[in-house]
Structure 1
Amino acid sequence: MLFVDPATLLAQHQSHPALPHSRHKTVVIAHRGNHVNAPENTLASTREAISCGADYVEVDLRTSKDGHLIAMHDGKVDRTTNGTGKVADLTWQELESLQVFNRNKRTHRIPQFRDILALCKGKINIYLDFKEADVAEAWKEIKAAGMEHQIVVYLNKEEQYKKWKEAAPDMPLMTSLPKEVTNKAQLDAFLGHMHIQVLDNMTDPELLKAAHEHGVSVWLDVQSPDEGPASWNEALHKGVQGLQTDKPAEMVTYLKAHVQ
């Protein structure tokens, strides 16, 4: 379980980060951008997420060998590009030269974080899946872009929590519930140590109720091969506040017609 020292605990409870404004009551998150229509984690898939009216675009963040922040889900470039090797072992010049695989003839490239920030400013929020990146540099680029109030950071590792709290105390944070947290008392204890604004993939009614009592939102991943209205409706009936989807355009249309 994640744990922070008393000094950090005191500091974090003196601030109450607010989630970015969303246009929909149920938050719609475009998984890796609208990547069904364009390659994942590219400027093109981000534009698609913006144009379909999603509230957030999910962006996976990593750092190159020479310190450039780039959007890439995998630790290696092999699956999504015509290159090979670990992101952390490649320079930006090497990464920039790669072509991102695509079903059509258009050429796409790996984007830098700063370019995604510039594209999203004032148009869509960012669900920043913080894979392996430098917190200080990420926060520097977020501030330079004026995007401080349009981002939620998803934490993947224990040490990321303290680093983000020290660098940006007002940044809204999100994480998965540890497997060992299975009842209300354990969740209360967890949230007593972790000042989190969003939890993901939590469906137990008791835990959902407890999270809401703490003012913590719950967002579910609903992307799957058979994703559609039936799975969305099932998730919504659990009482969650957001859905991450591979079909953001269809979900926006569905929510407008049936929910809000």
Structure 2
Amino acid sequence: MRLAVLVLGLLLCLVTGAASLAPIPPSNRVSLIHDRLLNANLNRDHVMVVAHRAGWKKDGVIMRAENSFAAIDHAVSIGVEMVELDVRRSKDGVLVIMHDETLDRTTTCHGKVADHTLGELRACQLLVEGQRRPTEEHVFTLEEAMLHARGRIMINIDNKIEPEALVEVADIARSLGMPDGVLLKLAVWDADRLQLARDIRRAISPDIALMPILADDAVTEPAFIDRTESSIGAPAAELVHWHRDASQPITADGGPLLSPLARAAAIRNNAHLWINTYPITDRPEGMVAGGRGDYLALKTGRPEDVWGFFVDRGVTIIQTDEPEAVIAWLDAQGLRRPYDLTN
């Protein structure tokens, strides 16, 4: 009997020891991601990945309903730092998750989101687009999305309604005890718009991250980029490098928003540079990335000409429709560091 007890104890020790060697996702993963977001200059050897519409594709094939819990869960499982979710308002004033103005493309319902109450939207099943396959998920609120993601992954809010709604979004995040769980953004193109960003910055308070979206059809001067980043305490700047004409060559230098002076402004302001390599339906490949988009990388087998091109020019956040491929390539280049308790 004594021998049996000793053997059992030894086996338990071995099992416990083996389990302790297994990687355990830290419970404070979001706080670690948030810390890297706020400290760009300490983390320029790590490229963060954002899943566009929460991550709905793989190799160009739609695998999940966009903006869905399933997409969020998958993004968490592959190590994505942030999911982008689109926010609209129901007829009775509730913030809900939906990309389009209408329900037709992505749900079993029809008509405008704003013409339906939350109760009516609850009956709309999310679809896997292309297949038109209904899922078990229904339209959900922003608050529900935040609760689903809380502690596991950050949410980048793509606000499809009035800019002032960002204050409401911030209030929801704070009420749920997750001010570090969201990143808000606002397009800024001139002095008036910058003043609006300042006003929103003051209204939401410093504990909620806010960044500008800067597009090179309006913003080209490094001084304005510098002023925008510094005046709202932006941890990042989302850059749009237009490529509207497929007959034109793709960008050779990244455009004015990735010039040496623009990159110097980002370093002065401890801000990340963010590029979007996802496609826009029925538009030239890489339309918002100077023609260097996800499917140029995948079709040519030369990701260095897309994701590598932007990393070489100082980009440290990539929003993509192909997060698995981007993470795999970044890992292979040594451009990802694991999130552990020492960060």
Band of TM-score, shorter chain:
0.7 to 0.9
Q: CA deviation at 1:160?
A: 6.0
- Map of 1:120 onto structure 2: 149
Contact 1:55 1:125 in 2 (8 A): yes
Q: Does 1:130 align with 2:144?
A: no
- Amino-acid identity (%): 28
Larger Rg belongs to: 2
**Runs of at least 5 residues in structure 1 that lack an aligned partner in the other structure:** 1-17
TM-score by length of 2: 0.64
Q: Does 1:226 align with 2:296?
A: yes
**Matches of residues 34-73 of structure 1 in structure 2 within 5 Å?**
34-36=55-57, 37-73=63-99
**How many Å separate the matches in 2 of 1:114 and 1:233?**
36
Total equivalences in the alignment: 243
Q: Secondary structure of 1:154's partner?
A: strand
Change in 2 beyond 3 A, CA 1:93/1:54: same
**Matches of residues 131-170 of structure 1 in structure 2 within 5 Å?**
131-132=160-161, 134-156=165-187, 158=193, 159=196, 162-170=199-207
TM-score by length of 1: 0.83
Amino acid at match of 2:265: A
Contact 2:104 2:110 in 1 (8 A): yes
Q: Secondary structure of 1:107's partner?
A: strand
Q: Secondary structure of 1:32's partner?
A: helix
1:106 is aligned, of 116, 135, 159, to 135
Greater displacement, 189-198 / 32-41: 189-198
Higher fraction of helix? 2
Q: CA deviation at 1:62?
A: 1.4
Q: CA deviation at 1:219?
A: 0.6
Greater displacement, 177-186 / 66-75: 177-186
Q: Which has the higher contact order (CA 8 A, sep 6+)?
A: 1
**How many Å separate the matches in 2 of 1:63 and 1:84?**
16
**Runs of at least 5 residues in structure 2 that lack an aligned partner in the other structure:** 1-31, 38-42, 58-62, 240-256, 280-294, 336-343
**Over aligned residues, Cα RMSD in angstroms?**
2.5
Contact 2:211 2:232 in 1 (8 A): no
**Matches of residues 1-260 of structure 1 in structure 2 within 5 Å?**
20-22=34-36, 25-36=46-57, 37-102=63-128, 103=131, 104=133, 106-132=135-161, 134-156=165-187, 158=193, 159=196, 162-177=199-214, 179-191=217-229, 193-201=231-239, 202-224=257-279, 225-228=295-298, 229-230=303-304, 231-260=306-335
The CA deviation string for residues 105-124 of structure 1, in whole angstroms up to 9 with x for no partner, is: 63332221122111211111
Greater displacement, 223-232 / 40-49: 223-232
**How many Å separate the matches in 2 of 1:111 and 1:87?**
12
